[in-house]
Amino acid sequence: MNRTVKYTLWALVTVLVEAGLTWAVARALSMPFEEIAFFIAVIGAVVVYLFSSQGGFGSSAVNLDVQASTGIKMEHEEHKVFRNPLLVGSIQYLLVVIGLTVVAYREHF
């Protein structure tokens, strides 16, 4: 299978999983889908972003802790974000949900 097709399929799977999770949470909390969708999309995008990056705040905190404990200075890692289909799908879902939220609450803006 072509790499682009796999990438697209995984991004689509991510969108579907996040939509299913949103539906399940909305149903469990007896809330309308559009009221909870934005929050689930933001949480999903942040979690995927945190697991798709290296050298950020978490790495700096661990490095400082090691340096304080041992006295050995750790090398600073440059912050990198790895673009992957899960991150792309999560951001796409967030953008779609923002659009749906604006449409659903347009009379309140």
Note whether 108 and 31 are within 8 A (CB): no
- Which DSSP state fits 105? T
CA atoms in the 13 A half-sphere facing the CB of 60: 6
pLDDT band at residue 78 using 50, 70 and 90 as cut-offs:
low
Q: Residue 80: what are its φ and ψ, rounded to 5°?
A: -130, 140
What's the predicted TM-score (pTM) here?
A: 0.75
Q: Each residue of 23-70: pLDDT tens digit?
A: 999 999 999 998 899 999 999 999 988 888 765 556 566 666 666 677
Domain ranges of the chain: 3-108
